[in-house]
Amino acid sequence: MLNNLARLCVLKGIRNVVLCPGSRSAPLTLAFSRNKDLACRTFSDERSAAFIAMGIAQQTDTPVVLVCTSGSAGYNFAPAVAEAFFQQIPLVVITADRPREWIDQFDGQTIRQSDLYGKHVKRFFELPQDHDHPDTDWYTNRMVNEAINLSQTGAKGPVHINAPFREPLYSSEGDIVNLEPVRVIEQVHGVSNLSEQQWTSLADSLTGFDKILIVPGQNPHDTGLSQVLIDAHTRTSWPVAGDILSNLHDLPFFVRHTDTFLAQAPKNLTTALRPDLLITFGKSLVAKNLKLFLRSHPPKAHWHLQVAGDTADTYQGLTKIIPLEPQTFFTRLNDLAIAKQKTWIDYEERWQQCERESLNGVDTFFKAHPDGEFSLVSRVMQALTSPSNLHLANSMAVRYANHIGLQSSQANVSVFANRGTSGIDGCTSTAVGHSLASSIPNILITGDLAFFYDRNAFWHNYPLPNLIIVLLNNHGGIIFNLIDGPSRQPEAEEFFITRQKLNGRSLAAEFGLTYSDASTGHWNDLFALGGNAKILELDSSQQLNKKIFEEFKMHITKHYGTAIQLETR
**What sign does the CA torsion over 84, 36, 11, 32 have?**
negative
Residue 179: pLDDT band (50, 70, 90) is: low
DSSP string, 542-567: HHHHHHHHHHHHHHHHHHHHHH----
DSSP 3-state helix, strand, coil percentages of the chain (rounded to 5)?
A: 45, 15, 40
Is residue 54 pLDDT above 80, yes or no?
A: yes
Of the candidate ranges 283-287, 480-484, 525-529, the one whose mean pLDDT is the lowest: 480-484
Q: What is the pLDDT of residues 444-499, one digit of tens each?
A: 999 999 999 999 999 999 999 999 999 999 998 777 666 666 666 766 666 666 77
Q: What is the pLDDT of residue 566?
A: 43
Q: Where are the domains of the chain?
A: 2-167, 196-349, 369-556
DSSP string, 112-128: --TTTTGGGSS-EEE--
Average pLDDT of the residues of the chain: 90
Q: What is the pLDDT of residues 135-148, one digit of tens each?
A: 888 999 999 999 99
Report whether 48 contacts 94 (CB < 8 A): no
| Equal CATH topology for 2-167 and 196-349 | yes
d(CA 244, CA 401): 7
User: What is the pLDDT averaged over residues 279-308?
Assistant: 94
What is the phi/psi pair of residue 109, to 5°? 55, 45
Q: Please, what CATH class does the domain formed by 196-349 belong to?
A: alpha beta
Q: What is the pLDDT of residues 320-334, one digit of tens each?
A: 999 999 999 999 887
What fold characterizes domain 369-556? Rossmann fold (3.40.50)
Report pTM: 0.93
Q: How many CA atoms within 13 Å lie on the side-chain side of 538?
A: 25
User: What is the pLDDT averaged over residues 23-34?
Assistant: 94
Please give, one letter per residue, the 3-state secondary structure of 442-498.
EEEEEEHHHHHHCHHHHCCCCCCCCEEEEEEECCCCCHHHHCHHHHCCCCHHHHCCC
Q: Please provide the CATH number assigned to the domain covering 2-167.
A: 3.40.50.970
Q: What is the pLDDT of residue 567?
A: 38
